[in-house]
Chains A and B, each alone.
Chain A
Amino acid sequence: MSIFYYDKTFDGLLSVVFDAYKIKHFPQALLAEGDIEPMFMERVHTTVTDSGKSDRVWTALRKKLSKQALNHIHHVWQSELPEADYLIFRYIRKVIDSSHSVETHFADEDVMAMLKLAKKVSKDTMYLIEFVRFQKTTQNIFFAPVAPDYNTLPLALRHFIDRFADQHWALYDIRRGYGFYYDLQRVEQITLPDENALIDGKINPTLLAEDEQQFQTLWRNYFKAITIRERINKRQQRQHMPARFWHLLPEMQN
C-alpha cells in the first residue's frame, strides 16, 4: 500500500494532488503526520503544503468544473468526515484525467458520492440559516450559539453578513469552540475568552439585554397561537425541524 502524509488542510490536499501528478504515483490512503501506519507499506511520500502548488491545481479545476461543482468540493471538505479527503482526491483525479466534464456523470460512484455528501452539508448549512436564533446582549450584540453537524458556519457566513449588515452579531459554534463576530464593517474569527459567557451552550442570562426575555416570550406565544390544533402532526414537524436543534430554539422551550 502506498500512502501520502499531509497536514490535513484544504491547501494541503490540493498540494497532494500536485505531488501525485508530479511523481506519477497515486496514493491509496491519505494520512496526517502521526497517524498509525498501515501494514504492508510500499511507498510513502510526505507532501509539504505549498500555496503555489494548491493554486495551480485549483486553477486547473476551475477550467474544468462549473462553479457549482467547485462549491461541492468545498462543501465535502467542510464535512470533516474521515473519508472526505480521499473522496475529493479520487474525484479530482477523475476530473483531471477525463477529456470531457465528469461532473454530470451521475452513474459514477465517486461523482455521486461527492454529490450526496455535498448535499448533506448544504442541507446542514440550510438548517443553520433557518434555525439560528439571535439573542440581544447587554452590549447590543445579537449573539447565537449554534451546533451544526458539519463545519458549516463558514459556508453560512455570507448569508448573515448580507442580511444583518446593520447590527452587531456573533455566531458561535459550541461544538467546535469557535465563531465569527461582525462589527458592521467586517467579520473576524473569535473564540470566547470568558468561560462564564456560555452555560451548557446557552448564553449566561445575566448577559442578556433587558427586553430579550420579553421578545422570546412574544415569539413563543405567537408560535403556539398559529398552530392549527385540529391538524397536529408532530412527525412532520420533526421531519422538517430535527430534534437536535430544539435546545437552541426559544419556541421549543416551554
Chain B
Amino acid sequence: MKESVLHKLTILAESAKYDVSCSSSGTIRRNKAGMTGSTSGWGICHSFTEDGRCVSLLKILLTNFCLFDCAYCVNRRSNDIERVAFTPGELAELTIEFYRRNYIEGLFLSSGVIKSPDHTMEKMLRVVKDLRTIHHFNGYIHMKTIPGASQELVHQAGLYADRLSVNLEIPLEQDLKLLAPEKDHQSVYKPMHYIQQGMVQSLEERRKFRSAPRFAPAGQSTQIIVGAAKDNDKDILHLSSALYQRQSMKRVYYSGYIPVNTYDKRLPVVKDSSLKRENRLYQADWLMRFYQFNANEILDDKSPYLDLDMDPKLAWAIRHPERFPVDVNTADYATILRIPGVGVKSAKMIMVARKHGRLNLNGLKKIGVVLKRAQYFITNNELPHYTIHEATPEYVKRVLRDTPSLPSPAEQQLSFGFTD
C-alpha cells in the first residue's frame, strides 16, 4: 500500500463521519467456498470511538470533491478544504485488509458528487463490483445512492450492495430549497422509489426462482439532519412514519445538526439541546417501530416538540392516566408494552412467565421491569393503591423526570434554603 493512502484515508474518513448510519444488520450471508467473509444478520460493532459511536463498517467517501454547495455540509463546493480521491483499487484493498483483521464488518461507501450524479454512481459501483467479483467479498456493503441517480444505476447498485440509502437531510422541502438550492426532495424520493421497486421485483422473482438475484436484501435507510432548519419534532416524526410505511425503509437516522459551516448566515446558532433532541427522536422512533405507537399518539399540533425532560413513552403515559393502571397478570401484550419501565424483552417475558403462576413484584423485578417507573402504572395485589390516580400525574411527572443537571450558581443562590 502506498503512503498516500494514509493521507487520503484520514481526510475522507473525516468527511464521512457525519453520516450516522453504521448498521451492518439485516442480511445473512453464510460463507461460500472460495469467498472471503460472511454477514451475520444481527450486525456486529468492532470498536467504539471517543464519542461513543459504534464502528461496524469502514465508513468512507470515495472522494470529497463536490459539485453541490449545501449549507450544512463540510464538503460543500465553496469550502476551502483539501480535496482527494481514492482509486477503486485502493479502496477495495483497504476494505479487504481491514476485514481480514476483524476490524470491520464491511464497507459503507459514500461520495461527494463529481461531474454528475450518474458519473459518481458509476465510480462507486466500480469499488463495490470489484469487491464482490474480483475479491469475492461476502461481507456487508452499504452504498449511498446519490440524489438524482438514474434508475439503471440504482438497479445495478442494489444487485451488489446489502443496503442502499438516499439521505433526505432536511425534512421540509422549503428549508431544503433554502439550504441546498441545487437539490430538491424529488431527487431523493425518486431513487428511494427505484430501490423499493427493485426490492419488490426481486422478491417476486425469487418466489418463482430461488436462484434469482437478491436486491438490497437489507433494505434501505435514510438520514434526517435535525435542527439545521425550522422543522419541529412533529414534522419529523410524521415524515418518518410515512417513510416506514414504505416496506423497504428499514431505518430513519436522526443527526442532530453539528455546526460545520458557522459562517453561513442561513444556518441557526445551535443550542446544546441538539444531542438531547436527537436522543428523544430515536426513542420516539423506537416507539413507532417496536411499541406499536403511531406518530399521532406521540406528538400532535398541541405539543409539536418532544419533552426533553422525560422519555416519550413516559410522557405519553402521564398524558393518558385513563389507560392505567394495567394488570400485568391479565392484560394483553400491546397494553403491557405501553407500561413505562417495561421494555420489549420484559413484556415478552411477562407474557410467557405468567403461565406458570401469578407474577408478583419480585418476579417482575427479576424479569427486569424498572419498578421505579412501572409502580405508578400497574396493579398487583401486593402494591399499596398508589397509582398515577392517587399520586396525580403532576406528582409522577415530578419524581420521574430526568434529574436535571446541577443548576447554575445563580439559581443555587436563589433557591438557597428552600426545597420543593
Tell me the smallest distance from the CB of A202 to a CB of chain B, in Å: 15
A237→B13 contact, CB < 8 A: no
Interface residues of B (CB under 8 A from A): 1, 5-6, 9-11, 13-14, 16-18, 30-31, 33-38, 40, 44-55, 58-60, 94, 97-98, 100-103, 258, 275, 349, 352-353, 355-357, 359-360, 362-363, 366-367
- 27 A-B pairs within 8 Å (CB atoms) are namely A105-B356, A106-B352, A107-B353, A107-B357, A107-B359, A112-B366, A135-B101, A142-B101, A144-B102, A162-B31, A162-B38, A164-B37, A165-B35, A166-B36, A217-B6, A218-B9, A226-B14, A228-B17, A231-B51, A234-B50, A236-B48, A237-B48, A237-B49, A237-B52, A240-B52, A240-B54, A251-B47
Of A142, A162, A166, the most chain B CB neighbours within 10 A belong to A166
**In the complex the two chains form, is B102's CB within 8 Å of A132's CB?**
yes
Sorting the interface of chain A by its residue count into under 10, 10 to 19, 20 to 34 or 35 or more gives 35 or more
Q: Which of A163, A228, A236 contacts B37 (CB 8 A)?
A: A163
Instruction: State whether A221 touches B356 (Cβ < 8 A).
Output: no
Residues of A within 8 A of B (CB): 102, 104-108, 112, 129-136, 142, 144, 159, 162-167, 211, 214-215, 217-219, 221-237, 239-241, 249, 251
B51 x A233 contact (CB < 8 A) = yes
Complex contacts, A235 vs chain B, CB 8 Å: 52
Contact indicator A225/B37 (Cβ below 8 Å): no
In angstroms, how far is the closest chain A Cβ from the Cβ of B250?
A: 22
What separation, in Å, do the CA atoms of A240 and B11 have in the docked complex? 26
Q: Are B6 and A225 in contact (CB under 8 A)?
A: no
With A134-B100, A218-B1: A226-B356 Cβ-Cβ less than 8 Å: no
Tell me the minimal C-beta distance from B359 to chain A in angstroms. Answer: 6
Contact B355 A133 (CB under 8 A): no
Q: Determine if B14 and A225 form an interchain contact, defined as CB atoms under 8 angstroms apart.
A: yes
Looking at the assembled complex, report how far the CB atom of B162 sits from the nearest CB atom of chain A, in whole angstroms: 15
Bound: A135/B60 CA distance, A: 23
Contacts of B52 in A (CB 8 A): 231, 233-237, 239-240
- Find out whether the CB atom of A133 lies under 8 angstroms from the CB atom of B51: no
A residues near B367, Cβ cutoff 8 Å? 106-107
Chain A residues within 8 Å of B353, by CB: 104-107
Instruction: For residue A90, give the distance in angstroms from its CB to the closest CB of chain B.
Output: 16
Question: Could you say which residues of chain B place their CB within 8 Å of the CB of A112?
Answer: 366
Q: Which residues of B contact A231 (CB under 8 A)?
A: 51-52, 258, 275
User: Are A225 and B9 interface neighbours, CB within 8 A?
Assistant: yes
**Which of A112, A223, A231: most chain B Cβ within 10 A?**
A231
Q: Which residues of the other chain, A, contact B30 by a CB distance below 8 angstroms?
A: 162
Contact A133 B100 (CB under 8 A): no
- Would A166 and B9 be within 8 Å (CB), given that A107-B357, A236-B48 are in contact? no
* A223-B51 contact in complex given A106-B349, A214-B1, C-beta closer than 8 Å: no
A240 to B53, CA, bound (A): 9
- Are the CB atoms of B355 and A104 closer together than 8 Å? yes
Which of B10, B37, B44, B51 contacts A221 (CB under 8 A)? B10
CA–CA, A164 and B47, complex, Å: 19
**Complex Cα–Cα for A237 and B360 (A):** 36
Having A227-B51, A228-B17, one finds 16 other A-B pairs with CB under 8 Å, namely A105-B356, A106-B352, A106-B366, A107-B366, A134-B100, A214-B1, A219-B101, A224-B10, A225-B9, A226-B17, A226-B55, A228-B18, A228-B258, A231-B275, A241-B47, A241-B48
Q: Across the interface, which residues of A come within 8 angstroms of B355, CB to CB?
A: 104
Q: Give the complex CA separation of A105 and B46 in angstroms.
A: 35
Q: What are the residues of chain B within 8 A of A215 when measuring CB–CB?
A: 1, 97-98, 101
